[in-house]
């Protein structure tokens, strides 16, 4: 889907070995600001949450550093994820987030955001 102007997408993230899902996360993309607000991802069977992640997409910076997301009952963290935004492609690479004490991960989620390109590639959660 490649709408003109803005696009709102919803991502539902699965977590825990019992298959319970986190709340829906609303992502809002506007052509005049490219703002991606806050992601809050729940993890662990005790219901604890990861920290809020602030992502700012501005035409004059478009930066998205590194995300490290904690997961698992043992407190082990995922690897650092480097996301690179270039003015000529503005692509969001790959996020792979582990969940559940058994280490099972959800399916790949393909998200495409465009006017003519701007893919929001793959999230594996």
* Higher pLDDT among residues 118 and 51, named by residue: 51
Residue 109 pLDDT class (50, 70, 90 cuts): very low
The predicted pLDDT at position 85 comes to 34
Instruction: Give me the torsion for CA of 50, 10, 117, 63, rounded to 10°.
Output: -30
Structural domain of residue 33, as residue ranges? 1-125
Residue 36 pLDDT class (50, 70, 90 cuts): very low
Structural domains in the chain (count): 1
The predicted pLDDT at position 86 comes to 33
Cβ atoms of 102 and 96 within 8 Å: the answer is: no
Q: What is the average pLDDT score of the chain? A: 37
Phi, psi of 95 (to 5 degrees): -115, 130
The predicted pLDDT at position 124 comes to 36
Q: Computed over its alpha carbons, how large is the radius of gyration of the chain? A: 15
């Amino acid at each position: 889907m490649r709408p003109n102007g803005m696009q709102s997408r919803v991502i539902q993230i699965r977590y825990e070995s019992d298959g319970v899902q986190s709340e829906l996360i609303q992502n809002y993309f506007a052509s005049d600001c490219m703002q991606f607000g806050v992601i809050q991802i729940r993890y662990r069977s005790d219901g604890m949450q990861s920290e809020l992640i602030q992502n700012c997409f501005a035409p004059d910076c478009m930066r998205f550093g590194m995300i490290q997301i904690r997961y698992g009952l043992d407190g082990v963290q995922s690897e650092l994820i480097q996301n690179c935004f270039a003015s000529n492609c503005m692509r969001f690479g790959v996020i792979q987030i582990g969940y559940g004490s058994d280490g099972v991960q959800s399916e790949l989620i393909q998200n495409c955001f465009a006017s003519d390109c701007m893919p929001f590639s793959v999230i594996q959660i």
